[in-house]
Amino acid sequence: MKTSRTARTLGALGATAALALAATSAAPAHAASSAKGSGAASYGMTKAFYGGKALSFTYSKGYKCDTGIKAASTTGCEVGAAWNHAPSRQHDVLYITVPLGFTPKPMQDCPAGITCVDHPMTVDLTRLEPALKPLYPKLTDAQLTDALKDFMTPGHDHFITDTNHGKAEWWDVQVVGVTSSKTYDAIHSHQSFAYIQKLIKAKDKTVVGPIPSNIFLYFSVAAK
């Protein structure tokens, strides 16, 4: 389904709290990045899911993050607020599922600790600071704020609802948090955003989102 704009707010406080669980009990990590708001272009592929099938993405441009949205990360990317200005008039949504509070089986499209091709290495999570504070009792408010400004992008999987006929385009990144390993395995098994949407509509407490961001990725989609 085509979209020209994401929702303007997080919506529910629960979304903030859920995404916060993506952090581990260790201190948040910092990482280097490319120019603010734009990633260096490189060519590569990742896996994705669409309509019950596994597909592949082919990337040919670096990421874009709307610098009109305030972000303290070195990438200029953030999660928690929707973009104001997109890099193109027409684009689709890329939903990324993030395991929250558990370690998934080694089958993610982009595993934790590894920056996937043309993805931002870090994101600003300071908008989620109130929910993150309980996870870092040993850090002062100032230390936590500083750490969240440039937080390592968590591991995730990719889901789409349109292939754009295999043509490359910009994709609007939205996050879906999953707090149960059993639910995450079921989502991975169904390989379809329709199943995720079903869980969200049923108000499944283990699935939260979609949560907006200012991040766009550029790729084409091809069946494996």
Give the residues across from 99 on adjacent strands.
178
- What domain range includes position 169? 2-35+64-212
Assess if residue 49 is contained within a domain.
Answer: no
**What would you report as the CA-atom Rg of the chain, rounded to the nearest whole angstrom?**
16
pLDDT in tens, 185-218: 999 999 999 999 999 999 999 998 898 999 999 9
Assess if residue 224 is contained within a domain.
Answer: no
Assess if residue 202 is contained within a domain.
Answer: yes
Q: At what angle do helices 193-201 and 181-190 cross, to 10 degrees?
A: 140
Contact status, residue 47 vs residue 107, Cβ threshold 8 Å: no
Return the closest-CA partner of residue 203 out of 65, 15, 36, 39.
Answer: 15
Q: How many domains does the chain have?
A: 1
pLDDT in tens, 112-148: 766 777 888 889 988 877 766 776 789 999 998 998 8
Assess if residue 165 is contained within a domain.
Answer: yes
Assess if residue 111 is contained within a domain.
Answer: yes
- Average per-residue pLDDT for the chain: 80
**Which residues, other chains included, contact 142 with Cβ-Cβ below 8 Å and sequence gap of 6+?**
none
Q: What percent of the chain has pLDDT over 90?
A: 46
